Structure 1
């Protein structure tokens, strides 16, 4: 009724199918190496710490509302 249920109408790219399978099972092939540990520490600890420090250090120093042309945006 709704169509042929035999072969798929689109030809699947074998490389894309392998990539999709690898991406689905990525956790099975992961290994902690010095490189992955370094990147994990960088993205989990260093970058959030630096961004948090910058956010707290500059909190309230700039005011973008209610300024006229030529007025400084600095509040300190």
Structure 2
């Protein structure tokens, strides 16, 4: 059966090091200004901006039942 020949191919040391680094990333994480800003941007800022834009444009555009030449805006 296929897949039982482990260790025949030479393993790249850079790939092994990268795999170990990604596996143990939580052990070496530190809060810095950069990581705090990135976390804030992805967790709070981006959803807030998207939610605000969605709330402000709610019901202003209608794409269903439109034909060529009809306006999309409903306000």
- TM-score over 0.5 (shorter chain): yes
- Where in structure 2 are there 5+ consecutive unaligned residues? none
- What displacement does 1:45 show? 0.8
Instruction: Describe the superposition over 1:26-46 as per-residue Cα deviations: whole angstroms up to 9, x where unpaired.
Output: 000100011111111111111
- What displacement does 1:60 show? 1.1
How large is the RMSD of aligned CA atoms in angstroms?
2.2
Normalising by structure 1, what TM-score? 0.87
Quote the residue 1:61 is aligned against: 60
Distance 1:61 1:10, change over 3 A: same
Quote the residue 1:42 is aligned against: 41
Partners in 2 of 1:17 and 1:2 — Cα distance? 23
Normalising by structure 2, what TM-score? 0.89
- Structure 1 runs (4+) deviating above 4 angstroms are none
Partners in 2 of 1:62 and 1:2 — Cα distance? 56
Instruction: Describe the superposition over 1:7-59 as per-residue Cα deviations: whole angstroms up to 9, x where unpaired.
Output: 61221110010000000000001000111111111111111100000011111
